[in-house]
């Protein structure tokens, strides 16, 4: 009796497939095309968000390079960093612009003031070298800042070169003014010498479609439709 009931059920499913198959073949083919893929931003193991200019807007990075990796030069770099952040904080009205381009224009119009603050910090540390301020587009590796991953690439930045500029660097986001918002003392920013940070990249993940007709076909040829037998 149980076998007859199961055979009758199979004939019913076959009839349904024949009637409905012609009406759904176009839809099924469309679902199987490569267009049925989603572009999903990939994050690292921590699930950090990945920066996107389109979604987050343009940024202006601050990049300070030490003269060398000597303990003394690295201390000078941190002193310059503190001076730059203090200058930005004291001139928040000047740098409180609405776009990264406007922030660059503010720097161009007031660059001498910032350079003066940097040189004052150098003299205060007894450094015998000067500093250069460069505003432009530079290559950066993958970096995480304020819970967001900034993928490797070219970014607009204010680069402050101390002496030979051959030492470790310190960086933050100057616009939006995350440098002063997230300033946490000597540990703020991201160290360029850290090789453990991973890339944020976009990858394609296929969308899996559950199809009644695919299940039905599997049942017809193999009798498996995940049904419970009473």
Give, for all 230 residues of the chain, the pLDDT tens digit: 555 555 555 555 565 565 665 555 545 444 444 433 333 344 444 566 899 888 888 999 999 999 999 999 999 999 999 999 999 888 876 667 788 888 888 888 887 899 999 999 999 999 999 999 999 999 999 988 888 899 999 999 999 999 999 999 999 998 888 887 655 444 444 433 333 332 222 222 233 334 455 555 555 555 544 443 33
How much is the pLDDT for 167? 95
What is the residue range of 26's domain? 2-36+207-222
How much is the pLDDT for 18? 57
Q: Is 113 found in the same domain as 148?
A: yes
Residue 48 in domain: no
Q: Is 158 found in the same domain as 75?
A: yes
Q: Is 177 exposed, middle or buried (0-12, 13-18, 19+ CB in 10 A)?
A: buried
Residue 44 in domain: no
Q: Is 218 found in the same domain as 190?
A: no
How much is the pLDDT for 92? 74
Residue 45 in domain: no
Q: Is 137 found in the same domain as 29?
A: no
Q: How many domains, the chain?
A: 2
pTM above 0.75, yes or no: no
Residue 165 in domain: yes
Q: Is 189 found in the same domain as 77?
A: yes
How much is the pLDDT for 75? 97
Residue 17 in domain: yes
Q: Is 146 found in the same domain as 98?
A: yes
Q: Is 69 found in the same domain as 18?
A: no
Q: Is 215 found in the same domain as 147?
A: no
Residue 127 in domain: yes
How much is the pLDDT for 9? 57
Inter-residue contact 140 to 153 (CB < 8 Å): yes
How much is the pLDDT for 98? 80
Residue 156 in domain: yes
Alpha carbons within 13 angstroms on the beta-carbon side of residue 50 total: 17
Contacts (Cβ under 8 Å, ≥6 apart) of 41: 49, 50, 52, 200, 202
Inter-residue contact 157 to 63 (CB < 8 Å): yes
Q: Is 151 found in the same domain as 69?
A: yes
Q: Which backbone phi and psi does 205 adopt, to 5 degrees?
A: -120, 125
Which three-class secondary structure state does DSSP give residue 9?
Answer: helix
Q: Is 61 found in the same domain as 142?
A: yes
Q: Is 67 found in the same domain as 6?
A: no
Q: Is 218 found in the same domain as 136?
A: no
How much is the pLDDT for 159? 95
How much is the pLDDT for 221? 56
Residue 46 in domain: no
């Amino acid at each position: 009796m149980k076998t007859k009931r199961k055979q009758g059920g199979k004939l019913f499913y076959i009839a349904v497939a024949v009637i409905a198959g012609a009406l759904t073949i176009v839809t099924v083919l469309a679902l199987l095309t490569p267009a049925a893929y989603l572009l999903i931003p990939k994050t690292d193991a921590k699930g950090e968000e990945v920066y996107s200019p389109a979604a987050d807007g343009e940024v202006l990075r601050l990049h300070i390079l030490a003269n060398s990796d000597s303990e003394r030069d690295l201390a000078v770099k941190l002193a310059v960093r503190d001076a730059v952040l203090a200058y930005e904080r004291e001139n928040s009205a000047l740098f409180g612009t609405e776009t990264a381009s406007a922030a660059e224009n503010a720097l161009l119009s007031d660059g001498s003031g910032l350079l003066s603050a940097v040189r004052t910090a150098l003299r205060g540390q007894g450094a015998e070298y000067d500093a250069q301020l460069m505003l432009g587009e530079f290559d950066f590796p993958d970096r995480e800042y304020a819970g967001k991953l900034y993928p490797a690439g070219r970014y607009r930045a204010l680069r402050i070169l101390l002496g030979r500029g051959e030492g470790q660097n310190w960086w933050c986001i100057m616009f939006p003014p995350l440098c002063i918002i997230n300033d946490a003392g000597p540990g703020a920013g991201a160290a360029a010498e850290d090789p453990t940070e991973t890339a944020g990249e976009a990858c394609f993940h296929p969308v899996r479609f559950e199809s009644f007709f695919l299940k039905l076909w599997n049942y017809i040829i193999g009798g498996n439709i995940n049904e419970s037998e009473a």
